[in-house]
């Protein structure tokens, strides 16, 4: 089963959330259902997680305007557990390398 990771802007902040269902048939919104909240830690208080729960924690269904969505990823559900692994990508300016 696939999961979806949606990156969007909310109140000038970049937000990423994961969900089980995604519907893009609406002409102006991305419909997100079955939101998966980030895992909580009993030892460390994470203010961003608390803000996330306060804003989106009680929602069963979100409709985010298309203009606010920057990226939608479809991932395998086992990959959601590996979110701590980050790959770093760099941008190479080809114009500068050709002049050298």
Length of the chain: 100
Contact of 80 with 19, CB cutoff 8 Å: no
Domain that holds residue 62: 2-99
Residue 61 belongs to a domain with what CATH number? 2.30.30
State pLDDT tens for residues 15-71.
888 889 999 888 899 999 988 876 666 666 667 667 777 877 778 888 999 999 999
Which of 91, 84, 75 minimizes the C-alpha distance to 7?
75
**Per-residue pLDDT, 86:** 44
State pLDDT tens for residues 9-31.
888 888 888 889 999 888 899 99
Which of 32, 92, 28, 83 minimizes the C-alpha distance to 60?
32
Number of domains in the chain: 1
């Amino acid at each position: 089963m696939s999961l979806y990771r949606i990156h969007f802007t909310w109140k000038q902040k970049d937000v990423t959330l994961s969900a089980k269902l995604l519907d893009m048939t609406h002409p102006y919104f991305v419909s997100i259902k079955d939101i998966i909240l980030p895992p909580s830690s009993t030892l460390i208080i994470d203010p961003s997680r608390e803000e996330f729960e306060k804003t989106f924690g009680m929602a069963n269904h979100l409709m985010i305007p298309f203009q606010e969505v920057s990226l939608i990823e479809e991932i395998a559900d086992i990959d959601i557990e590996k979110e701590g692994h980050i790959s770093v990508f760099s941008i190479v300016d080809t114009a500068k390398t050709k002049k050298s």
